[in-house]
A = this chain, B = another copy of it.
């Protein structure tokens, strides 16, 4: 095979052969069918794919990738398309390799405390599958907190790995890379590599670390072996309200400094609370608060209660205007579902929004929240804030109205200003949704030229033709 064919002819050949290899129904190329693949969760960027393929197995994924590579066609992986940085958008055209049909949980091995899954498995499916065994995949709250339909947790494990995503529980359990024991990946030329397995440690270079967070620019993840952990008997939720945003930020630090071990610690500001309390997921969060903190602790029944009481005491001593300890699982589930719906609920307070995703050292929280608010205010825009204290991950939601000319651009501009401030505060331009297309111009704010060159040289080792998710990460 050769890539000296005209692009049009190469594409026709690709489609013909892909149908032979994967089956007629596994290849989309009709213009109308391709429309929904022009975008991911990032509304500000579009790109036209030539075709979408739906492999069912490692082997089929390898065949599809090899075929595209040999024809010189760009290859863009896609899970559920929830990227907020244009990561799954084919900005340079090419073939989208969707993991939608690679949705099997392959094995649960509790003896080694691991689960093997295909890349297209939804994060939360693992938890719902494990719940009856008393285990969890500890990256987010677990399926009992999902408020379906409309749950934001539609992301796939493959997408989580591509972006090294965090979750509400990463305060205690770490981010995605900390959960991985093994990966099966497809290299650009279609070769399959099985890296690691059920073990903690590997000989040789840690390619799992390198591939995690590489946003589909080095290889595609086909399968993963993730760790699973036992679920503690009891969880207790603490909800605290604050009349002052800065005080809430300081209280986060105080809880950490106290030596408490929360599983999750989330902050929502007044506008975020107002949004969720205006919709179907209203959970009685205090609308008069400038900010609320939601904290979850876990343990044996006496252990968790003891820990919750200590956290509550720290919050009271650190400016909380009210603290509620929630032991009732049904009420706790409702509160956390409200938190998880905050993004979706933005529609109740404004017609459109841009959501940003940066990290900051936790100590700088109050400062960052003020900067975010000010970045909106000076452009006449309101900014709601949701913050994962766990990984210092700030999600400013910048509200705008796209019917007003220029407002969207202002919102994007405000978002960039906030991310630049994150870097200046000692943080990063992405917590969990990647650099992708939207943030690549910000990469030089974080890295020197030589560091970016080092990363590019590594990319060339994997992808000498530059066909893997082109136009992403690197400016």
Contacts and interface: CB of A to CB of B under 8 A. Distances in A.
Interface of A: 109-113, 134-135, 164, 166, 170, 174-175, 177-178, 191, 193, 197-210, 212-214, 218, 229-232, 253, 256-257, 259-261, 299-300, 302-304, 306-307, 359, 361-363, 390-393, 426-432, 434-435, 439, 443, 446-447, 450-452, 454-455, 457-459, 461-462, 473
A194 to B, nearest CB: 9
List the 7 shortest-distance A-B pairs measured between CB atoms, nearest first.
A209-B209, A303-B303, A230-B259, A200-B391, A302-B302, A111-B363, A210-B210
A329 B332 CA distance: 37
By CB atoms of chain B within 10 A, which of A134, A201, A232, A391 has the most?
Answer: A201
Contact of A230 (B197, B260, B391, B447): B260
A134 B199 CA distance: 31
A170 B112 CA distance: 14
Contacts of A363: 109, 111-112
A460 to B, nearest CB: 8
Nearest to A445: B203
A443 B306 contact: no
Contacts of A390: 200
A206 B177 contact: yes
A303 B306 CA distance: 9
A203 B443 contact: yes
Given A134-B259, A206-B177, A206-B212, A201 B166 contact: yes
A401 to B, nearest CB: 30
A428 B199 contact: yes
A363 B428 CA distance: 41
Nearest to A227: B174
A428 B450 CA distance: 35
B307 A193 contact: no
A174 B164 contact: no
Contacts of A201: 164, 166, 175, 213, 359, 391, 393, 428, 430-432
Contacts of A307: 300
A230 B257 CA distance: 9
Given A256-B111, A457-B461, A361 B198 contact: yes
A103 B178 CA distance: 28
A390 B253 CA distance: 31
B205 A210 contact: yes
Contacts of A260: 230
